[in-house]
Structure 1
Amino acid sequence: MQGKAGFWNLSNKLTLFRIGVIPVVALLLLSPGRAPNLVAAALFLVAAITDTLDGYLARRRGTVTPLGKLLDPMADKLLLVTALIFLIPLGRVPTWAVAVIVARELAITTLRGIAASRGVIIAASWLGKVKNLLQLAAANLLILHHPYFSIDPHRLGTYVLYLALFFTVWSGLDYLWRYSRL
């Protein structure tokens, strides 16, 4: 449903903020040192939080828009994939891991498009939600990279990334299995 606020409602502004943060995070990742990584991680975290907040606000306030429905998942994927791609040349994430994540996102996005063209809506499963949370957490830790307070975010981020990869493959196969008859 289209709310009274039209396109320029708070939910869509949060989505646009998330899209705007993407090049800033990417540029900060290209800058050497702890401070740019810390700022990039903080911006990434805020953007990741808006991922949950914008959809909730849109539904609660009745300001869901067709463009918002399109931009929100696109912003989520762009934020994550851009960060991961920029982490590859820094040696913080293996190329194959990013390829697995991108392949799964492309496959499920394509599946959702086919389903929508046939009047079927594929809602996010609990596996997909866990996958998303783990991917965002891993990316944020790998962006942070440098140790703080005796915690090694790079090592922790690597562990979380492998757990995220498990859920990435599992949730992707689950969607493909459940909707293979489309």
Structure 2
Amino acid sequence: MNIPNILTSIRIFMIPVLVVIYYLPWEGRYHACAAIFALAAITDWLDGYLARKLDQSTPFGAFFDPVADKLMVSIALVLLVASYANPLLTLASAVIVGREIVISALREWMAEMGKRASVAVSYIGKLKTAMQMVAIFILLGSRPDTFYAYIGEGVLIIAALLTLWSMYVYLKAAWPELKSQETDKS
């Protein structure tokens, strides 16, 4: 175990802590959950930075880092959808989670064909991630039906639109391979 892998493991262990605190009958839970999510986002950036800087990339980290990210975001969105009961927030969350499933499957499939670089993380993907992290942070830290919650919902909708755009970019890059496989089997 190295420092980046420890940070990834901590992020995975933070998920049940986030869920438990979110449901506590305690007024401070909103700020505590936002802080936990922010800490998770920081460790996400830090573990990648340290793995590259210290040359400590490992198969464990390569596998679990994206898993930890997707689990934290998905679980946070599920908590928010249950609390907010807002159709737009639900749709935006479904788009974000659905895109993660599609792109993860696409990357795995492209990797099997030795073409993973075709669907490497793009600038729009990084922007999408930043927007969704900010939105989730705001939403976790706010009571539903407050001014800040409405801001968070707006940012999440923007993140969902960026999500669709980034999915289009990835699918467009992979389309020649998707199309050629379809033609080969015809």
For the Cα contact (< 8 Å) 2:93–2:160, is it kept in 1?
no
Q: Runs of 5+ in structure 1 lacking a partner?
A: 1-7
Tell me whether 1:89 sits opposite 2:86 in the alignment.
no
Question: Is 1:63 aligned to 2:56, yes or no?
Answer: yes
TM-score where L is the length of structure 2 = 0.87
| 1:9-158 matches, cutoff 5 A | 9-91=2-84, 94-121=89-116, 122-146=119-143, 152-158=147-153
Residues 29, 87 of structure 1: 8 Å contact kept? no
Q: Which residue does 1:177 correspond to in 2?
A: 172
| Per-residue CA distance 1:89-116 (angstroms, 9 max, x = gap) | 1116532222111110011001100111
Partners of 1:37 and 1:140 in 2: CA distance: 10
Matched, 1:159 2:164: no
Task: Give ranges in structure 2 of 5+ residues lacking alignment.
Answer: 178-186
Q: Residue 15 of structure 1 contacts residue 54 of structure 1 at CA under 8 Å; is this kept in 2? A: yes
Measured in 2, the distance between the counterparts of 1:92 and 1:44 equals: 21
31-40 vs 130-139, greater mean Cα deviation: 31-40
Question: How many residues get paired?
Answer: 172
CA distance in 2, matches of 1:12, 1:92: 36
Q: Deviations over 1:124-177 (max 9, x none)?
A: 100000011111110111000149xxx932121111111101101000111001
- Same amino acid, percent of matched pairs: 40
Q: Which of the pair has more CA radius of gyration?
A: 2
| Structure 1 residue 32 displacement after superposition | 3.5
CA contact (8 A) 1:19 1:79 kept: yes
RMSD of Structure 2 on Structure 1 (CA): 1.6
Q: Which runs of at least 4 in structure 1 moved beyond 4 Å after TM superposition?
A: none
Distance 1:92 1:51, change over 3 A: farther
Cα distance in 2 for partners of 1:84, 1:25 equals 12
- More helix by percentage: 2
8 Å contact kept, 2:131–2:158: yes
After TM superposition, the structure 1 stretch with the greater mean CA deviation from structure 2, 115-124 or 135-144, is 115-124
1:29-50 CA-to-partner distances (Å, cap 9, x unmatched) read 1124430111111011010111
In structure 2, the partner of 1:5 is none
The CA distance in 2 between the partners of 1:89 and 1:112, in whole Å, is 30
Q: Residues of 1 paired with 2:63 and 2:71: CA distance?
A: 13
CA contact (8 A) 1:92 1:154 kept: no
SS of alignment partner, residue 28 of structure 2? helix
